[in-house]
Amino acid sequence: MTTDELHSLPQKAAEKKNENKKFFSKLKKRPPKNLDYVMQELHSAEFAVTDCLTCANCCKTTGPLFTNADIERIAKHFRMKPSVFIESYLRVDEDGDHVLQSVPCSFLGADNYCSIYDVRPKACREYPHTNRKKFHQISNLTLKNMEICPAAYNIVEAMKNRIAL
Ligand code: SF4
Ligand code: SF4
């Protein structure tokens, strides 16, 4: 993934936004019976060719929300009290969720490896959520993720080709 490709992604996503909104609104009304299966296929095909280690744009620009279970697990990994971990790395956002104090994420290495990979937040493991069940239910989140994640962008483009509505 080149820096230019990542910089041009918000613009590319903005250009497709109306088309994508219409697609998702139709999809919500009539989700195909095999949608979960199709999404697994499109997700696997995209991540077979996308190398997140050349990108890390999600870790650099947004970061996840941290559930209580995430906080307890990661604090334990650092042998810290959860309250000390929160004080050191997290803040509460406008929705009341724990999120990173700053981006890029403190746990992202210069080589784009996650230094807490085995205990990373659930949201990091699941990002960009393109293989989750009932994918049509998270269309607003997906429209946002398309500005950040080139894989999510490509998966939605592939969906429009694959699913006739
Ligand atoms: S999930 Fe998307 S944004 Fe994150 S590193 Fe992989 S391709 Fe990049
Ligand atoms: S915890 Fe790891 S995977 Fe999650 S945003 Fe930070 S560096 Fe990325």
Q: Which atom of ligand 2 is nearest to the CA of 108?
A: 7
- What percentage of the chain reaches a pLDDT higher than 70? 100
Bridge partners of residue 34, in order along the sequence: none
Q: Is 2's pLDDT higher than 90? A: no
Record the tokens describing residue 83, joined without a space: 């309250």
Residue 59 near residue 108, CB atoms below 8 Å = yes
**For ligand 2, is residue 105 a contact (CB within 6 Å)?**
yes
* Rounded distance between C-alpha atoms, residue 69 and residue 37, angstroms: 29
| Helix and strand numbers, DSSP H then E, in the chain | 8, 3
What is the rounded (10 degree) CA torsion for 20, 58, 5, 18?
Answer: 10
pLDDT confidence of 86, banded at 50, 70, 90?
very high
CA of 79 to the centre of ligand 1 (A): 29
The bound ligand whose nearest atom lies closest to the alpha carbon of 5 is 1
Mean pLDDT, rounded, of the chain: 96
Under DSSP, the state recorded for 55 is T
Ligand 1 mutation target, pool 2, 57, 146, most atoms within 8 A of CB:
57
Q: What is the mean pLDDT of residues 32-38?
A: 96
Which ligand sits closest to the CA of 107? 2
The candidate with the shortest Cα–Cα distance to 63, out of 103, 95, 94, is 103
State which ligand 1 atom lies nearest to the alpha carbon of 59: 4
Question: For residue 150, is pLDDT > 80?
Answer: yes
Is 80 exceeded by the pLDDT of residue 108? yes
Q: Is the pLDDT of residue 1 over 80?
A: no
For residue 92, what is the enclosing H or E element? strand 90-92
User: Residue 3: pLDDT above 90?
Assistant: no
